Chains A and B, each alone.
Chain A
Amino acid sequence: MKRTVSLGLVISLVFSLLIWGTNNAASVKITFSRHGTETDLETENKLVKIFKSKHPDIDVEVLVLPWNDYNTKIPVMVAGGSAPDVISAHPALLFQIYAAKGLYSINSMVKTDTTINYDDIVFPGDAKFSGQIVGLPQKSCTHILRYNEDLFKKAGLTTPSDLYYKGKEKAWNWDSLIEAAKKLTVDENGDGQPEQYGVSLDDNCIKFSTIRSAGGDVLDKALTKCVLNSPGGKKAFQFFVDLVRKYKVAPPPELQVGQLGIQFKTGKIAIEAATSCDSVRDLRKGYELPFSWKFVVPPAGPAGFRVWGDTDQMIISITSKNKKAAYEWMKFRSSKEAWVELYKEGMTLAFTDGPTRFSIFDIPAFKEPLKAVDVNMIKEAYKYVIPNPFLPRTPYADRIFFTIVPTELDNAMRGTKSVEQAINDAVKLINDVLAGKA
């Protein structure tokens, strides 16, 4: 009897070891990184669980880091050869990793993959370098406007959405924005200082898209020279300055109105710069604003509508040892299916990630959570992301578009420099940066 039991135990042990060994040999573990918050980690873990049910042989470990940490840690990991298998990269980080030859081109994988409809992918230009596809989008976003519908109704004004749908650029343009903003700027206590402003365009991306909507640009096509001093650039600068100094419908930068409680969220700013991927968080249950609000594309300038839009692209690290598994994960993470299945599980990507596919605009997982705002207007904005990629690919992009141009525009809006002087100074500084002198 003892011998039989011992034999049985030995056989079961050997059998278990064999099974474990077989499973372990087939299982592949990959790492995925993105910037975000603890909520995003929860979302990703849920997505990993869904993915795992379809790909039991692939384990995905998620690394979510806050924005600043992400932008320092990932480059260091890439430099050290220990980068995650799949990295979600915003345009600047993507360019940086590409320039350093830190990513693996997925061009052939995508081209031979019959399950991907590449025409459905938003902002495909973001993922292409020298015609080669290097990534799939994790999320997309546009920098647009949102307005307080209640304030418009109270003032008896046609809403920007109605203007846009009725007459496109003929009805919703710089002039109509100024006219509406004039009526929505209110000095409640008569002290000469408005307590409610018509508009606030305090967003560097909107500043850049406005320059383009005026027919101007910051850099030439070769990205070697600053062309901000073109008529379009001057018109855009003048438009921003006029909002503050001439029409006094936008808060001057020196007032720091946010601290005064003059914010969109407090109902004291009628139209503000917003993003289609982040501002929607105000639609979450328990976080709703105490008034009705809607999105609208930024008004058309002399050259028409222009919108800053971009994607965070998922790329495969050149050092990844499991590129096929990495591709499977990013394909799922980027898919419409991920949106649908996560929504079924009671979580929604619509509050954190903009659509990765045009077809996502039409599914309940996107439409239902955002039904309080005009979902179609978000889709409209994607049309005006011209060119794509919208952000010029230069290693100096952050410095030029997020430091020098906003600083000089700020100088003009504060009235410490004329538009001409601010533009000339910006051109000189940008050309110095491009020449490697600063």
Chain B
Amino acid sequence: MAKKSKTYWKRALEGYLFISPWIVGFAIFTAGAIGASFVISLTNWSMIGNPRFIGVENYKRIVNDKFFWQSLKVTSIYLLNVPLNLIIGLLLAILLNQKIKGLSIYRSIYYLPSVTAGVAVSLLWLWIFNPRFGIINLLLSYIGIKGPAWLSDEHWALPALIIMSTWGVGGSMLTYLGALQGIPTQLYEAAILDGAGIWDRFKYITIPMITPVILLNLIMGIINSFQTFTQAFVMTNGGPNYATLFYVLYLYQQAFRWFNMGYAAALAWILFLIILVCTIVIFKTSARWVYYERS
């Protein structure tokens, strides 16, 4: 093994010094809490009084808890919003990458919703989904369709929230836009000279060149979806008939409504493991479809 040079160690030290505020913050405020939450997950604790150590009992109980499975099912179905938002975000980015008048205004308009506060957005969509005079059902009525009760209908509540998720597509749109503008124009010029059409250029140049951003948006989308809370908390409170009982909402109810802190901590650790496995699988498979210029 080659001996590391003095410069190497100096550079490394500089690097660690630069990230030291984060490391110190993480060690003091986060790492301890993470460790404590695991210990709590092995106890029966209502926040008041002393926690009682019960080993893996909470984890065993989770396996038989139908609300756990229901919340996992709801959250898994909600993951459908990820590909939907990937596609819509990309299409919007392509549209907003054209040279048209007032481009910056359009970009701002499409990006604005993604920075609006979650509660405000939820209240707005409550109106949009109102069964009697919400704008969606109003538009459907013009073409002779009687719209569903959306958030009050257990079959439509979750699809409604998936539709609503497209409201926040501005964030991924922006990263796509950055990636699209980073594609060297000579690649397109060469392709045109070779007789490639629009679709071929999109398929063989655009898509491969932006796969790192697709990977980023995919992972972030999945993590955010697993952590969905505000919409369900504000708009449906998990109903109707538990149709929007998202995992984190159930975790919140266990922790802060019913004060089963040990059980809630166990739920949190299971969620962490689920997200970790999903992320690892995506990273492992990404070598097959993500293209890096250097690779």
Contacts and interface: CB of A to CB of B under 8 A. Distances in A.
A399 B65 CA distance: 14
Contacts of A78: 47-48
Residue of B47, B133, B152, B153 with highest tally of chain A CB at under 10 A: B47
A260 B133 contact: yes
Interface in B41-89: 46-49, 61, 64-67
B159 interface: no
Interface string A381-421: 00000000000000110110001000100110010100000
A96 interface: yes
B127 interface: yes
A116 interface: no
Nearest to A193: B132
Contacts of B133: 260
B126 interface: yes
A177 B270 CA distance: 50
B153 to A, nearest CB: 6
A436 interface: yes
A25 interface: no
Interface string B253-264: 100111100000
B48 A102 contact: yes
B62 to A, nearest CB: 10
Interface string A292-314: 00000000000000000000000
A88 to B, nearest CB: 16
B257 to A, nearest CB: 6
B131 interface: yes
Contacts, number: 84
Contacts of A254: 131, 149, 152-153, 240
Given A407-B239, A411-B241, A96 B258 contact: no
Contact of A260 (B130, B253, B257): B130
Question: Main SS of the interface on chain A?
Answer: helix
A398 B260 CA distance: 12
Contact of A411 (B64, B67, B240, B256): B240
A68 B234 CA distance: 14
A437 B242 contact: no
A300 B47 CA distance: 40
A116 B120 CA distance: 49
B46 A100 contact: yes
Nearest to A68: B256
Q: How large is the interface on B (under 10, 10 to 19, 20 to 34, 35 or more residues)?
A: 20 to 34
Given A254-B153, A411-B240, A414-B152, A79 B258 contact: no
Contacts of B257: 398-399
A104 B266 CA distance: 32
A206 to B, nearest CB: 18
Interface residues of A, number: 35
Contacts of B64: 437-438
A101 B47 contact: no
B77 to A, nearest CB: 18
A96 B61 contact: no
A76 B66 contact: no
B132 A75 contact: no
A256 interface: yes
Given A407-B239, A436-B61, A97 B130 contact: no
Nearest to A437: B64
B48 A97 contact: yes
A414 to B, nearest CB: 7
A437 B61 contact: yes
Given A407-B242, A410-B240, A436-B61, A256 B131 contact: yes
A71 interface: yes
Contacts of A410: 239-241
Contacts of B153: 254
Given A254-B149, A256-B152, A438-B67, A79 B49 contact: yes
A255 B127 CA distance: 12
Interface string A415-433: 0100000000000010010
Closest 5 CB pairs of A and B: A100-B49, A254-B152, A100-B48, A75-B47, A254-B149
Interface of B: 46-49, 61, 64-67, 126-127, 130-133, 149, 151-154, 239-242, 253, 256-259
26 contacts: A75-B48, A96-B48, A99-B48, A100-B46, A253-B152, A254-B153, A254-B240, A255-B152, A256-B130, A259-B126, A259-B127, A259-B130, A260-B132, A260-B133, A395-B259, A398-B257, A398-B258, A399-B253, A399-B257, A407-B239, A407-B241, A410-B239, A411-B240, A411-B241, A416-B240, A429-B66
Given A100-B49, A260-B133, 4 more contacts: A72-B47, A79-B47, A101-B49, A416-B154
